Amino acid sequence: MNRKAKQKEGRRTIGRRTLLLGSGMLLVTSFLSGRLYQLQVAQNNRYKRLSDRNQFDLRVVPPRRGRLIDRKMRLLAGNAESYLLHITPLYAGDLDRSLAQLGQLVDLTEDDVARVRQTARKEPSFRPILIRESLTQRELARLAVRSAYLPGVTFEKTLRRIYPQGALTGHVTGYVSPITSREVEENKALRDLPNLATGKIGIEYALEPELRGQPGNERVEVNARGQPIRVFRDFEPRSGTDVRLALDIGLQQHVTKVLRRGQSEQVDMASPEVQRAIATDSDLKLHLASGENMLLRDRVGKITPPESGAAIVMDVHSGEILTMVSAPTYDPNMFTDRLLTRDWRRLNAHPRDPLLNRVTAGMYAPGSTFKMIVALAALEAGIINEDTRFFCNGSMDLGNATFHCWFEDGHGSMNVVRALERSCDVFFYEVALKTGIQRIKAMANKLGLGDVTGIDIPGEKLGIIPNHEWKVATHGVVWTPGETVVAGIGQGYVLVTPMQLAVMTARLANGSKAVMPSLKVVEGEVEFEDLGISESALRIVREGMFEVMNGSLGTARRHTLPSGQGGMSGKTGTVQVKRITKEQREAGITKNIERPWKERDHALFVGYAPVKNPRYAVAIVVEHGGSGSSMAAPIARAALQRALEINGEA
């Protein structure tokens, strides 16, 4: 009995164990089946994507950058095919060995190799690193033949920014160059576009979002060596918008040539005379070493570099900028790839700073071109009228100071029209004192001086139109009457940009609207604010500007346009940079051209044409060019004449 009981108990134990084991096996089988279902069915898409990531290299496709074209559809900035060379450290294995191999096939500098190594230490190993841009056809052929033996090395076609007009439009277009680490910090989305070039200055910078477009996405099927097999484009990139500028490249070329030549003649660089001058003149050597390829012979026979300065031609109704010249300039093409150290040093060593956009960032005393502001302020305030006269005997005393007129013998009795015609300083000394600096500043601001003009160029300077509050805030002392006298002829603290002078002139010519400048083509009618200046005051000032060009004693009477072309009105300006010293006078050095270049007067001119129905305004600044009447006025005439001819109005 005991034996049967034991057997029964044993069978019961085995049954329980079998049940537990079976249950456990069933549970494990169920778990494995469920997990298998989850992996193969429920999460099939997820793991397929993960698998694709091992098979495909996901890339962001940069968009085609929008073009810049001039008003007649001529290309100013475009795109050309270029080939890039990359290396992916994850697939390359021994990076130094791969770079050494590549160095035998393509031209690699020590800087290129050092940059790749430094980037590889900072960036993830799976991210491609740019080695070279703009590969030659011969280099491409070598790489294609050896590509099977270069793991992790790829080359691809891309678009490189080009500027067909070169230095002619450098300060207008600006340039693009590779993105910087600072740009990536400010916009994390740029991290996925390491080969993208972004605008740094000029229109390229101002219109960057519009020109850049939207990137696309693609999957590149790669093999185990990281080399591409097939490409699948998921999202096409959206090209940037083409932008049509108001610039006329033909007029730009003409004005640039006329401005740089000034009143001198171009010389043959290879002639013995020029070579001797270069050998003995350190200033000429410095200019040539900085990339200058043009020299002139001035009025006294000396070999000199080209003139520097600024020139603007502007439509007085729409505000379109047809010409914007800053000289000297630079070629923006040198910035599209990685800028060579020697080129950067050349630009910075240039004695006349070609990187400075003188049109918007150069600040100059306006000199006598400011006299229209003083006249309008006085006329509007009722301080003077068309018949008000002051006597000029060559100077004016104020306290213990004497303020001289440019014409030592004096102009005699002057009204406002004759004072503008002959640019009498004493007349405007008297008018400025009676009008006051506050009214003068208000009128200057109304005509666009002392404030940004709104042009599509970053880095524009404000200029300075001083008054009592400005003097206390910046110098900590009060304004004096003598400073009002000096400001009355556009000197002292008064500083403006050439673009502001162009805007001022366009508003004077327009007569009723506060026209604003635009580098883009203006479509349709544009509504500008009213100037709020009486027509009678504007008529008087415009009559004075007409007499400057056409009066028997006008300061620029030799440089007006023929009546058959509608004539022109304007105003000259000569700004003293440095007073002639006693030693220079004793040595007989009194003429502007006999002084060192940096001590010569600036030459300015503003004007418009035609006289009866004004269409274009012009502003010219020639740095250290001497007289506004003999240097700047002829350049302005040439610019206005060509503008009228190009547009069929002359």
Tens of pLDDT, residues 548-580: 999 999 999 999 999 888 999 999 999 988 776
The pLDDT of residue 7: 67
Mean pLDDT value across residues 273-295: 86
Whether 488 and 374 have beta carbons less than 8 Å apart is answered as yes
Residue 39 has pLDDT above 80, yes or no: no
All CATH 3.40.710.10 domain ranges of the chain, comma separated, are: 307-646
Q: What percent of the chain has pLDDT above 70? A: 88
d(C-alpha 88, C-alpha 496), whole Å: 53
pLDDT for residue 278 is more than 50: yes
Of residues 629 and 10, which shows the higher confidence score?
A: 629
Cα 489–Cα 602–Cα 311 angle in degrees, nearest 5: 100
Is residue 55 predicted with pLDDT exceeding 60? no
Tokens of 102: 């590549």
Q: Does the pLDDT at position 50 exceed 50?
A: no
Q: What is the mean pLDDT of residues 73-100?
A: 88
Q: How would DSSP label each residue in 49-92?
A: HHHHHHHEEEEEEPPPPPPEE-TTS-EEEEEEEEEEEEE-HHHH
Q: What is the mean pLDDT of the segment spanning 444-448?
A: 97
User: In this predicted model, what pLDDT tens digit does every residue of 320-376 receive, in sequence order?
Assistant: 999 999 999 999 999 887 777 788 888 888 889 999 999 999 999 999 999 999 999
Distance (Å, rounded) from C-alpha 464 to C-alpha 453?
Answer: 13
Is pLDDT above 60 for 49?
A: no
pLDDT for residue 82: 84
Residue 594 has pLDDT above 90, yes or no: no
What is the rounded average pLDDT of the residues 186-206? Answer: 80
**Would you say 474 and 538 are in contact if contact means Cβ atoms under 8 Å apart?**
no
Map tokens 């000034």 to a residue: 262
Which superfamily does CATH assign the domain made up of 57-244 to?
A: Penicillin-binding protein 2a (Domain 2) (3.90.1310.10)
Q: Where in the chain is the domain with CATH 3.90.1310.10?
A: 57-244
Q: 202 or 16, which is more confident?
A: 202
In the structure, what pLDDT confidence band is assigned to residue 32 with cuts at 50, 70 and 90? confident
Confidence of residue 1 (pLDDT cuts 50, 70, 90): low
Categorize the per-residue pLDDT at 139 as very low, low, confident or very high, splitting at 50, 70 and 90. Answer: confident
Decide if pLDDT at 21 tops 70: yes
Q: Where are the beta strands (DSSP E) in 183-342?
A: 197-201, 216-222, 228-235, 243-244, 265-266, 296-297, 303-304, 309-315, 321-327
In this predicted structure, the answer to whether residue 223 has a pLDDT above a threshold of 80 is: no
Q: Among positive and negative, which fits the CA dihedral 173, 178, 184, 189? A: positive
Is residue 185's pLDDT more than 90?
no
Backbone angles phi, psi at 128, to 5 degrees: -60, 145
* Contact residues for 428 (Cβ-Cβ < 8 A; gap 6+): 371, 374, 375, 419, 488, 489
Amino acid identity of residue 390, one-letter, is F
CATH number for the domain formed by residue range(s) 307-646: 3.40.710.10
Question: What is the pTM for the complete model shown?
Answer: 0.85
In this prediction, what percent of the chain has a pLDDT beyond 90? 55
Predicted pLDDT at 505: 98
pLDDT at 351: 87
pLDDT digits 0-9 by tens, 525-556: 888 999 999 999 999 999 999 999 999 999 99
For 491-519, write each residue's pLDDT tens digit. 999 999 999 999 999 999 998 899 999 99
| Mean pLDDT for all residues in the chain | 88
Chain centroid to CA 509: 27
